Amino acid sequence: MNQKTLVLIKPDGLVKSLTGNILMRLSESKLEIVAAKILRVNKELAEEHYKHMEDKPFFKELIRYIQGELHGRRKVMAMVYWGEDALTKVRELAGSTNPEEADVTSIRGSFGRITTKGIYENVLHTSSDAKEAEREIKLWFEPDEIIVDLYPTKTVSMETQKKRVWA
């Protein structure tokens, strides 16, 4: 079945220069990248992305982690992978959430670690199911940033909206 999934290379992945390694591993899936960007993650986006973890004792640190505050690298790389069984393929290549339990040949097993403060630094995020993928893709990307039509869209006029353009 054709699926889509949000992939984030987290700040530890970027600070450790793992982008190339991670993309190479993910390319084994033969999936297509249909959107990609580097962005700074503000607190609102971080909290919305991880809202299902709100009650966890590590929530505050998790928000600081995805914002890059633990790594002095305030950015993530966000992508949408699309194709046959995208969700399962990418999660399998990523490995388990806990990097110490992840298969050692997986991305998290190879490059992740648990810090002495107990943070799972697992270098990438990937959506866990179709519903989560839809919520996350719509949260991280505008329709025009994705080169295929993944979900229904509508056109609205926003005449009062200000936009920064090249000077």
Catalytic residues: 125
Near ligand ADP in 133-162, by CB under 6 A: none
Q: How many residues bind ligand ADP (CB under 6 A)?
A: 10
60 Cβ contact list (under 8 Å, min separation 6): none
What binding mask, one character per residue, do residues 82-121 give for ligand ADP by CB under 6 A, x or -?
Answer: ---------------x--------------------xxx-
Nearest 5 degrees, angle CA 81-CA 83-CA 86? 65
> What mask of x and - would describe binding to Mg ion in positions 99 to 128, judged by CB under 5 A?
-----------------------------x
Distance separating alpha carbons of residues 75 and 21, to the nearest angstrom: 18
120 binds, among Mg ion, ligand ADP, none (CB under 5 to 8 A by kind): ligand ADP
Q: Using alpha carbons, select from 15, 61, 11 the residue that is nearest to residue 41.
A: 11
Q: Give the residue at shortest CB distance from ligand ADP.
A: 97
Residue from the set 122, 133, 137, 150 that interacts with ligand ADP by CB under 6 A: 122
**Closest CB to ligand ADP among 98 and 153?**
98
Q: Residue 97 binds what, of Mg ion, ligand ADP, none (CB under 5 to 8 Å, by partner type)?
A: ligand ADP
Residue placing its CB nearer to ligand ADP in the complex, 30 or 117: 117
Q: Which residues, other chains included, contact 112 with Cβ-Cβ below 8 Å and sequence gap of 6+? A: 95, 99, 100, 102, 120, 121, 122, 123
For residue 26, with 0-12 CB atoms within 10 Å meaning exposed, 13-18 middle and 19 or more buried, which class applies? buried
Q: Is the dihedral of CA 154, 158, 164, 166 positive or negative?
A: positive
Binding residues for Mg ion, per CB under 5 A? 128
